[in-house]
Amino acid sequence: MAYFVSALGDRHASGAANPVNVTDAQPGCSDRRHGLDKAVGAASGADAEERLVNYLLGPERYNKLIRPAVNKSQQVTIAIQVSLSQLISVNEREQIMTTNEYEGIKKLRIPSQHIWLPDIVLYNNADGTYEVSFYCNAVVSNTGDIFWLPPAIYKSACKIEVKNFPFDQQNCTLKFRSWTYDHTEIDLILTSDFASRDDFTPSGEWDIVSLPGRKNEDPNDITYLDITYDFIIKRKPLFYTINLIIPCVLITSLAILVFYLPSDCGEKMTLCISVLLALTVFLLLISKIVPPTSLAVPLIGKYLMFTMVLVTFSIVTSVCVLNVHHRSPSTHRMPDWVKRVFLYKLPAFLFMRRPGSSNIREKFRRKHQQKSYSDIRLGKTDVDSFYVNEESAKRYGWRISDLPENTEFRRRMTVKCEADMEEAVDGVRFIAEHMKNEDDDEGIIEDWKYVAMVIDRLFLWIFVLVCVVGTLGLFMQPLFQSYNTPTADDE
The answer on 231 and 242 residing in a single domain is no
Angle at CA of residue 469, ends 463 and 473, nearest 5°: 140
Return d(Cα 96, Cα 293) in angstroms, integer. 55
Interval 443-452: pLDDT, tens: 788 888 888 8
pLDDT tens for 118-133 read 888 888 887 767 777 7
Indicate if 180 and 242 belong to the same structural domain. no
Do 207 and 321 lie in one domain? The reply is no
- Give the separation between CA 10 and CA 149, rounded to whole angstroms: 7
Measure CA of the first residue to CA of the last residue in the chain; give whole Å.
Answer: 25
Structure-model confidence comparison of residues 480 and 229, the more confident one: 229
Which residues, listed in sequence order, are joined to residue 125 by a DSSP beta bridge? 156
Do 437 and 304 lie in a common domain? Answer: yes
Which residues are within 8 A (CB) of 29 and not within 5 positions of it... i.e. 6 or more apart? 36
Residues 91 and 188 in one domain: yes
On whether both 171 and 51 belong to a single domain, the answer is yes
Q: Which long-range contacts (CB under 8 A, 24 or more apart) does 215-223 make?
A: 215/188, 215/189, 215/190, 217/183, 222/183, 222/184, 223/182, 223/183, 223/184
Same domain, 47 and 138: yes
Question: Are residues 262 and 378 both part of a single domain?
Answer: yes
Number of other residues whose CB lies within 10 A of the CB of residue 150: 22
Give the pLDDT confidence of 29-74 residue by residue, as tens digits. Answer: 333 334 434 333 445 556 777 777 777 777 777 777 677 777 777 7
Q: How distant, in Å, are the alpha carbons of 77, 107, 113, 279, 349 from that of 142? A: 18, 6, 20, 68, 89
Distance from C-alpha of 159 to C-alpha of 162, rounded to nearest angstrom: 9
- Helix/strand/coil for 86: coil
By mean pLDDT, which of 57-71, 132-146, 258-272 is the weakest?
57-71
Instruction: Indicate the residue among 207, 236, 265 that finishes a domain.
Output: 236
Average the pLDDT over each of 265-279, 338-352, 376-390, 400-414 and give the range with the smallest value: 376-390
Beta 186-190 vs 76-82: how paired, if at all? Answer: parallel
Q: Which percentage of the chain shows pLDDT scores above 90?
A: 2
For residue 96, give the CATH number of its domain: 2.70.170.10
pLDDT-derived band at 484, boundaries 50, 70, 90: low
Q: Is residue 192 part of a domain?
A: yes
How many independent structural domains does the chain possess? 2
Residues spanned by the domain of 367: 238-491
Please check whether residue 402 lies inside any domain of the structure.
yes
Backbone phi and psi for residue 90, each to the nearest 5 degrees, phi listed first:
-100, 105
**404 plus 472 within the same structural domain:** yes
Q: Give the CB-side neighbour count of residue 462, counting CA atoms within 13 A.
A: 12
227 bridge partner residues: 176, 215
Greater confidence (44 vs 335) lies with: 335
Q: What is the pLDDT of residue 95?
A: 35
Name the domain boundary from 167, 202, 236. Answer: 236
Alpha carbon distance 113, 246 (integer Å): 56
If asked whether residues 224 and 288 sit together in one domain, one would say: no
pLDDT digits (tens, 9 = 90+) for 212-236: 989 999 889 888 999 998 888 888 8
Average of per-residue pLDDT across 175-194: 86
Same domain, 227 and 243: no
CA dist 253 and 189 (Å) reads: 58
Domain-embedded: residue 26? no
Task: Please provide the DSSP assignment of 235-292 as one string.
Answer: E-THHHIIIIIHHHHHHHHHHHHHHHS-TTSTTHHHHHHHHHHHHHHHHHHHHHHS--
Q: Confirm whether 25 is domain-assigned.
A: no
* Whether residues 111 and 220 fall in one domain: yes
pLDDT bin (cut points 50, 70, 90) of residue 465 is very high
Indicate the residue among 180, 206, 236 that finishes a domain.
236
